[in-house]
Structure 1
């Protein structure tokens, strides 16, 4: 019995500090920390555009607004709450209030509050939002490409300019100087 206690103590001293903390937590020797709130996921812009296109297609096909919003709410939990409230019969202005706080759904929420229960107007807005998001993505990609060309030009200039000066300009200048002093 004493030998087993000694072996257990030695094992606890040998293990890493994180496993010691874990052992103390399991044994109830240190209090548990409350879990961290989940970090909001970054929404891919092209996926967001596809989401708005899908919403527009659902609404144009004649689905009710709560059903269509619920169909596209996988990546935007705010929309899931909106769809649930609308399905339960909440006032559209109240149901879309939470979506006004999310930067990704702000434009759709404003339009949805204006159109109230009509899906036709909301479908046009969703299509327009998809086009805007794609335009922003295109603009950002073009800006990155232009930045890349500038960043690529700098090392090339730093390498080729000295070589041009040494192999192109310097021999001409030295030749002119030699010819001037040779006269």
Structure 2
């Protein structure tokens, strides 16, 4: 029986150039996830993968946007990106460097990490335990990423539009 690497090599050999190019991005994303897990382990953080982000997204919305009407949520395209609640200035929040400082200084024990659009490339949601040492820098380059404490009392968000001045954001109830 072939090893996984041998099977993968067989697949790669049969792919056209475009397929190899596409596979490269997927392989890099998977490698980055393993590198992240190793980095967290070196900080004493326990990383557990979760199956789906849908429950976390619902909890996030319920906890942080319950004061906003359904019409307003539709108007700001909240379901496209939950972070629109900050970019449309509907909740008081910290942003940019102040958001990073607030997140870095926030007490963290258990946190959830999820992406707006989870898939096998961007990554599955995570539960981080013993997360006291995590910093914004640990998530540098991640896009449409949400970090929330286990009780949903604060959230830190990195957008895909930071180069346009949108985020990161930090919000605390």
TM-score past 0.5 threshold: no
Compare the two structures and name the one with the higher strand fraction.
2
TM-score range, shorter chain: under 0.3
Q: TM-score, with normalisation over the residues of structure 2? A: 0.21
Q: Which has the larger radius of gyration?
A: 1
Compare the two structures and name the one with the higher helix fraction.
1
Q: TM-score, with normalisation over the residues of structure 1? A: 0.20
